[in-house]
Amino acid sequence: MARSSVRTAASNGDQTSPGIEMEIRTIKGELQAKTRQDLIKRALELKIPGCHQKKKQELIEEIAITSIYQLLPRSPQIIRNLTRRDLLRLCEMGGIKVKRRSLKSDLVRAVKKTLVKKQAAKRPESPRPEAWLSAPELPTMPEHFPDSYDVTRVVLLPVDLYRIHVYWDIAKRDLERVRNQIGKEVERAQATLRFYDTTHIFFDGTNAHSSFDVDINLQAGNWYVHLWSPGRSYCMDLGFRTGDGRFFPIVRSNMAEMPPAHPSEKGKERYMLVSEDFKRLEIMPQLSAKECQKDLTCHPNPETISGVSESQNPEEILNQPVKQVQGKVRNDRYESFPMDMDKVLQEKLAELYRFRLVESPRPPSESGQVVHSASEEADLTEMNERGLTAGISSKVMILRKEKDLGLRAD
């Protein structure tokens, strides 16, 4: 990781000023948390002799002082936090002859004079020591990302209601292949994003509601596409379109579902009871919540619908074998327009249980109080929509700051 942290104009950009703080106490504290095995591994990496014979405390001392030794040239101020014993050890490591009874200040001077200078002199030739306490950059590590991973893909990412972001990457061989396919028209072929509206269908490549092309510059690598209706789902092919209208696809994207701009229509309401261990029991309107709570032996399959008519109780119903409702649309009737799951389920249930479905049910009420229907008097969803204030928190703070710093007008 590069040494320079964030700099502003206030900094004098001093390149040689050391930026590392290594308090030996902190280092030792960190090492305490490690096991002896870990410490031995590190000691081996630092080429400390005889580490297998050393006790844990000795290893800690050795590793700490070796790291300090290696970091000296860059941060000589570490010296001031060292004990006399540490300083003696440093001198020993650096081959400085000192009397064991020297004053601490003499030791400091000796270390500064010899070791710091010595290490500093060595710096141009040898690469920075691979002290495991700092994270040196490997000489071979690239500075930048590759522009391309040479893998062909195209990805759709929704941005907001009306915009979708596309990025792509094309492997050289795939580009070659397509260009060969196109033949002599290739120079006039236009790179394009062919969008398919796949809302509520299982897209098989041919059954989209509609499609449109967005011509692009292949070199750009990414594009923002503006849509004109929210709430739709899209799939997309990246390819070339020739002058005569033929389309040569290179790669297909993921499916992207765009968010809706408005609340949905008032529709059939479904209710569910979810227990603590996630067992789910769907409630049909006539059943009160209290009845369901009594016996939670519900079918684990989420598609299972259970309900009750006046004569039966929940337990009996649940123990009956239930036919699963398949979600796949194979029926002719649903091929070309969005399938209505609710309608499908209703019909299936009517067959299975033969009970009446009420059109606009009251939600199950525990207390049994008489309440005017919410949907007649107050539309809470509409009320919330009108008061919408998304993103108010992050926006407020940043805008205020920018305004105050004079970076933007109000």
Residues numbered 231-260 forming contacts with other proteins, rule: CB under 8 A: 254, 257-260
Sign of the CA dihedral with 359 first, then 362, 363, and 365 last: negative
- Between residues 106 and 315, which has the closer beta carbon with respect to other proteins? 315
Q: Structure tokens of 28? A: 């030792």
- Between residues 83 and 149, which has the closer beta carbon with respect to other proteins? 149
Radius of gyration of the chain (CA): 36
Secondary structure element (H or E) that encloses residue 108, with its range = helix 104-110
Q: Please, what is the minimum distance in Å from the beta carbon of residue 332 to other proteins?
A: 25
Q: Structure tokens of 216? A: 């692009």
Q: Which of 37, 126, 264, 336 binds other proteins (CB under 8 A)?
A: 264
Map residues 99-138 to x or -, x wherever contact with other proteins holds by CB under 8 A: -------------------------------xxxxxxx-x
Among positions 281-300, residues that touch other proteins (CB under 8 A) are 282-283, 289, 292-293
Q: Please, what is the minimum distance in Å from the beta carbon of residue 184 to other proteins?
A: 33
Among positions 317-346, residues that touch other proteins (CB under 8 A) are none
Q: Structure tokens of 280? A: 């789910």
Among positions 201-230, residues that touch other proteins (CB under 8 A) are 222
- Between residues 2 and 245, which has the closer beta carbon with respect to other proteins? 2
What amino acid occupies position 67?
A: S
Q: Please, what is the minimum distance in Å from the beta carbon of residue 106 to other proteins?
A: 26
b/e per residue 120-138 (b: at least 16 CB within 10 A): eeeeeeeeebebebbeeee
Among positions 370-409, residues that touch other proteins (CB under 8 A) are 371-372, 374-375, 377-378, 380-385, 387-401, 404
Q: Please check whether residue 119 is in contact with residue 60, taking contact to mean a CB–CB distance below 8 angstroms.
A: no
- C-alpha 41/C-alpha 39 separation (Å) is 5
- C-alpha 64/C-alpha 19 separation (Å) is 19
Map residues 140-179 to x or -, x wherever contact with other proteins holds by CB under 8 A: -xx--x---x-x---x-xxxxx-x-x-x-x----------
- Between residues 94 and 231, which has the closer beta carbon with respect to other proteins? 231
Q: Which of 6, 105, 311, 354 binds other proteins (CB under 8 A)?
A: 6
Q: Which of 41, 128, 177, 209 binds other proteins (CB under 8 A)?
A: 41
Q: Please, what is the minimum distance in Å from the beta carbon of residue 327 to other proteins?
A: 11
Among positions 67-106, residues that touch other proteins (CB under 8 A) are 75
Assign 96 to helix, strand or coil. Answer: coil
Q: Please check whether residue 75 is in contact with residue 20, taking contact to mean a CB–CB distance below 8 angstroms.
A: yes
Assign 84 to helix, strand or coil. Answer: helix
- C-alpha 213/C-alpha 193 separation (Å) is 6
How many chain residues touch other proteins (CB under 8 A)? 109
- C-alpha 44/C-alpha 59 separation (Å) is 11
Question: Considering only 26-34, 210-218, 314-322, 330-338, which stretch makes contact with other proteins by CB under 8 A?
Answer: 26-34
- C-alpha 215/C-alpha 176 separation (Å) is 20
- C-alpha 247/C-alpha 255 separation (Å) is 20
- Between residues 267 and 321, which has the closer beta carbon with respect to other proteins? 267
Position 57 contacts other proteins (CB under 8 A) = no
